[in-house]
Structure 1
């Protein structure tokens, strides 16, 4: 029988951690649905907890505020993008490779429910400062995470300013693409989709960085 190395076991999240992550995402999805329909002013933490099938104490064990509850829903695409980049060759990815990874992260295999919920949530942000604050914080965190990833892949001789520009331009392109897609009520696939707009935004915002 094959054995599992200690290194492999260390990388694999425990069952408790996987359950915690799943619970946190279910809370986020529930909150996102309610906020998309009603905005934050008319939705309470009690309502989110009840709709998610958990107690209020459990809700606050996972979320600091009702607005923070949506964070896993909005950061999921960026996490998939970073994971895709990190799983590639151990070198600085090209802008075309970053673009392709972003498209994959925003292209659902079959289930488009999460993408539709995200679109509704982004639409609700137009009139909700609390939600916009969470959204911008998530984007800034994602840009910082991308910069750290690129720095690790590029090596000691890389120009840190160029890496920051790449991280800022590509992360900003994805944010703008998603916001425009939501504002125009774009489809989940094909022309006008989030993935389609990402290609245009990354291409235009990184034009000056291309060799």
Structure 2
């Protein structure tokens, strides 16, 4: 008999608390950066408003700018998990459905507004831009790895790489357009709507 696949391990209470603390620090840092800019915010201020000691803050982030990474990366991680869970090379419809689920069922309205403010602040802040681009590059690489794992051995490596780049790029552009507009974009206002629109313009995976 073949072995049955193992159920995903449920995170321990300590792991869940660490994850919650890390996200709370990220939310606080993002809010402060959006309101004041990174130059005016200190790591000590982020730690204090997050309710943790400065020493604890540095267990979760190497620099004050790095603290926002969990918030910015959460949507991409959910989207990648959706793609991987499909068990096959995704079609355009699969990419769109995964994006809608990950963006609609993930961040709270408050987190979305914090993220929007952070992406707006990024335009004039090289440190935040560097983190945002790093997150997007890592998401593209992770997506490429997932596509390789799901594809047949004879799959075209050029097509897989291009698909990963275009899909990840569509999400990045959509979120940046949404943040910059600070309101509906040509009648399509939600991040999920804009992601789908960008993907259809690029004909991802077709």
With structure 2 as the length reference, what TM-score do the two structures score? Answer: 0.91
Give unpaired runs (5+ residues) of structure 2.
none
Structure 1: segments with no counterpart, 5+ residues? none
Which secondary structure does the structure 1 equivalent of 2:123 belong to? helix
| Structure 1 partner of 2:42 | 44
How many angstroms apart in 1 are the aligned matches of 2:177 and 2:155? 33
Distance in 1 (CA, whole Å) between partners of 2:47 and 2:37 is 16
Q: 1:111 Cα shift? A: 3.4
Report the equivalent of 1:114: 111
Alignment RMSD? 2.1
* 1:180 alignment partner in structure 2: 177
How big is each residue's C-alpha offset from its partner over 1:9-44, in whole Å with a ceiling of 9 and x where there is no partner?
x72222221211111111101100100101100000
Q: How far did residue 6 of structure 1 move?
A: 11
Q: What is the number of equivalent residue pairs in this alignment? A: 202
Correspondence for 2:14: 16
- Could you tell me which residue of structure 2 aligns to residue 201 of structure 1? 198
> Which residue of the other structure, out of 137, 155, 163, is the alignment partner of 1:166?
163
Retained in 2: the 8 A contact 1:106–1:194? yes
In structure 2, which of residues 120, 123, 138 is the aligned counterpart of residue 123 of structure 1? Answer: 120
Deviations 1:77-107 (CA, angstroms, capped at 9, x unpaired): 001101111222x211112211121122122
| Structure-2 residue corresponding to 1:64 | 62
Match of 2:26 in 1: 28
* Cα separation, 1, equivalents of 2:81 and 2:117: 25
Kept after mapping to 2: 8 A contact 1:166/1:206: no
Per-residue CA distance 1:159-205 (angstroms, 9 max, x = gap): 11111111100100000000010000035xx8222111111111112
Counterpart of 1:149 in structure 2 is 146
